[in-house]
Amino acid sequence: MDRIGFIGLGIMGGPMAKNLLKVGYSLTVLDINPQSVDELVKAGATSAEDPCDVARESDIVITMLPDSPDVEKVVLGEEGVIQGIKEGALFIDMSTIAPAMSIKIYEALQDKNVQSLDAPVSGGYMGAENGTLSIMIGGDRTAFDRAFPVFQTLGKNIVYMGETGAGQVTKTCNQIIVGVTLQAVSEALTLAKAAEVDLNKVRQALLGGFAQSKVLDHQGERIIEGNFEPGFKLKLHRKDLNISLETGKEQQVPLPCTAIVAQLMDAGMAQGFGESDHTTITKIFKSTDRA
Amino acid sequence: MDRIGFIGLGIMGGPMAKNLLKVGYSLTVLDINPQSVDELVKAGATSAEDPCDVARESDIVITMLPDSPDVEKVVLGEEGVIQGIKEGALFIDMSTIAPAMSIKIYEALQDKNVQSLDAPVSGGYMGAENGTLSIMIGGDRTAFDRAFPVFQTLGKNIVYMGETGAGQVTKTCNQIIVGVTLQAVSEALTLAKAAEVDLNKVRQALLGGFAQSKVLDHQGERIIEGNFEPGFKLKLHRKDLNISLETGKEQQVPLPCTAIVAQLMDAGMAQGFGESDHTTITKIFKSTDRA
């Protein structure tokens, strides 16, 4: 059985690492938060000094980190994964980062005869805990085949998207659609509320037709109930849209609604909603507070 | 059985009127296009001179017209419905118009002891032909109960939304969500295409998660196939968003993404796509034409 190194034990990474331990993988772990490391060590993992150290002990190295610069530093930086990883090993980044960074890392590791995959996920912490994440994978097919048992432990909807970066492109498309659809639902429900139409009836009626979406169903219910507990934090969705907008700029694709939604999320963060659920963008004009 | 007057025999109104004839209602019809009238007369309807004339012959008067000014003229204008309609009759407007106009008409007819309902539909011409429209109804509950057998002939998903105008508010919320979600899907698929990721795989992967929507499913497939046959004409969706924006202004609800999508639809119309399917907004930056 492959020895796995796991770097980044946050809300997502922690439960993912535990699921790998449960099925019998031996795990070397690293996080900037000592408490998160302790928890995994108690569950049977070994701790390491730095990313280089993790890589030295592992056949497969997985990262689950907040953003592109974090992954760049952990993989390509001083004492980075690239310093310790063995020829023939496999690197899997499961963070949501810029496709361009996935390609940069892929190329750097290829020079060391190390395969790599971009494998961002969706499904939130519930999906991480239950091992039911959706995983969108880019990279060489042989690397995908090799990683498949690991993905099967972590997720359910496992899709090979194509070459390096294709996983991240798919994830950023997901974040565009979820973010803009959320704003669509927010505008509609705010208007209906102002016009004093029963929001539950509106949601129910629209779920029966072409306006149907998971966002109207799930996030729509949260908006109506006024439940803004995360869920998916506004500041993280905002970070993800930054990746979308950067990628749009590189590819010369205008993304007007994505750009507007990013601005509205900035307005939400300026109002202190960054740690709340992304549905709080519905509150930035305060219209939903009108009785 | 109530005698029904039907004004507006277009793509939607024509088949709706035929469905009423089929179940045995006696029908008096009117349209500016003599061919449309002929077709209904051949099917068993009686033609009339003007809206006042239609109303004189009917217990229930239905209008299915393009926009608010059309309904205003036909109901409240010279030789309008209001001139001929009998005390105790029922007026049902099934057009998609501004909620404020529905309220204006409701009040004018109430002064004549005539009940009225706003009952816009969704489901397109296929829904009209098959009698499977979704109908969102606003007005007095007693009027709704009286009209119910008529609605059952025309549609399947029949929802009483509340007071006068609530049907139109719900419809405009529907058009906001469909329009903005369509733009979300368009931005995502254009980005994926530019990044050379397989669009069918992207659509399939995203349908399995939180980005799922009827629009991604149905209109997404049209965009990928390059099938821009209407469907739902861009110019009609643009008209509907005008109602959304007007209503937002009245209610002091900012609708930033709706406004952007309306502008993008204007760009599409300036490029000659008004008669094409609303999915043509995906073509305005020509990015999807890149191989």
Please tell me the total count of domains within chain B. Answer: 2
Percent of chain A with pLDDT over 90: 94
CB atoms within 10 A of CB B44: 13
Domain with residue B138: its CATH number is 3.40.50.720
Query: How far away is chain A from the Cα of B14, in angstroms, using its nearest Cα?
Result: 22
What tokens appear for B195 in the block? 């990044």
Query: How far away is chain A from the Cα of B134, in angstroms, using its nearest Cα?
Result: 7
A134/B209 touch (CB, cutoff 8 Å), yes or no? yes
What tokens appear for A290 in the block? 């009108």
B159/A204 touch (CB, cutoff 8 Å), yes or no? yes
Residue A124: the pLDDT is 86
Q: Which residues of B touch A187 (CB under 8 A)?
A: 176, 180, 248, 253, 255-258
Beta pairing class for A27-30 and A115-118: unpaired
Question: Which residues form the domain of B101?
Answer: 3-164
Mean pLDDT of A43-57: 98
- Report whether pLDDT(B90) > 80: yes
The CA-atom distances, in angstroms, between B25 and each of A86, A200, B19, B46, B137 are 81, 35, 9, 12, 21
What integer best gives the mean pLDDT of chain B?
96
Q: Which residues are CB-neighbours of B78 under 8 A, at least 6 positions away?
A: none
Cβ(B64)–Cβ(B13) below 8 Å: yes
Which of A122, A134, A151, A181 should be substituted to probe chain B, the one whose Cβ sees the most B Cβ atoms within 10 Å?
A: A181
Mean pLDDT of B261-286: 95
Query: How far away is chain A from the Cα of B211, in angstroms, using its nearest Cα?
Result: 5
- Of A243, A228, A241, A242, which is closest to residue A275 (Cα–Cα)? A228
Query: How far away is chain B from the Cα of A284, in angstroms, using its nearest Cα?
Result: 10
Mean pLDDT of B25-51: 98
Q: Which of A171, A193, A239, A283 is catalytic?
A: A171
Query: How far away is chain A from the Cα of B234, in angstroms, using its nearest Cα?
Result: 16
- Say if residue A159 is in the same domain as residue A174: no
Among the candidates B141, B164, B187, a domain finishes at B164
- Report whether pLDDT(A288) > 70: no
Cβ(A33)–Cβ(A9) below 8 Å: yes
Among the candidates B126, B148, B164, a domain finishes at B164
Which candidate from B157, B180, B253 shows the least CB-CB separation from A208? B157
Residue B291: the pLDDT is 38
Q: Which residues are CB-neighbours of B213 under 8 A, at least 6 positions away?
A: A177, A181, A212, A213, A214, A215, A216, B181, B185
A162/B214 touch (CB, cutoff 8 Å), yes or no? no
- Say if residue B128 is in the same domain as residue B179: no
Mean pLDDT of A185-189: 98
pTM of full prediction above 0.90: yes
By CB neighbour count within 10 A (0-12 exposed, 13-18 middle, 19+ buried), where does A88 fall? exposed
- Say if residue B8 is in the same domain as residue B32: yes
Which candidate from A173, A187, A190 shows the least CB-CB separation from B206? A173
A257/B187 touch (CB, cutoff 8 Å), yes or no? yes
- Report whether pLDDT(A287) > 60: no
Q: Which residues of A touch B158 (CB under 8 A)?
A: none
B173/A211 touch (CB, cutoff 8 Å), yes or no? yes
CB atoms within 10 A of CB A214: 18
Among the candidates A111, A138, A164, a domain finishes at A164
Phi/psi for A236 (5° steps) reads -75, -40
- Say if residue B150 is in the same domain as residue B238: no
- Say if residue B34 is in the same domain as residue B100: yes
- Say if residue B61 is in the same domain as residue B154: yes
Mean pLDDT of B255-263: 98
What single-letter amino acid sits at A269?
M
Beta pairing class for B121-122 and B133-139: antiparallel
B231 preceded by cis ω (within 30°)?
yes
Q: Which residues of A touch B253 (CB under 8 A)?
A: 187, 190-191, 194, 285, 287
- Say if residue A145 is in the same domain as residue A175: no
- Say if residue B116 is in the same domain as residue B15: yes
Give CA–CA dist A243/A277, Å, rounded. Answer: 19
Residue A149: the pLDDT is 97
- Say if residue B64 is in the same domain as residue B195: no
Residue B288: the pLDDT is 45
Is B239 one of the catalytic residues? no
- Say if residue B111 is in the same domain as residue B212: no
CB-defined contacts A:B, below 8 A: 242
What is the complex's ipTM, to 2 decimals? 0.94
Cβ(A194)–Cβ(A237) below 8 Å: no
* pLDDT tier, B290 (very low <50, low <70, confident <90, very high otherwise): very low
* Closest A-chain CA to B215: A210
Q: Which residues of A touch B254 (CB under 8 A)?
A: 285, 287
Give CA–CA dist A285/A269, Å, rounded. Answer: 13
Residue B255: the pLDDT is 98
Q: Which of B86, B104, B112, B171 is catalytic?
A: B171
- Say if residue A251 is in the same domain as residue A118: no
- Say if residue A48 is in the same domain as residue A188: no
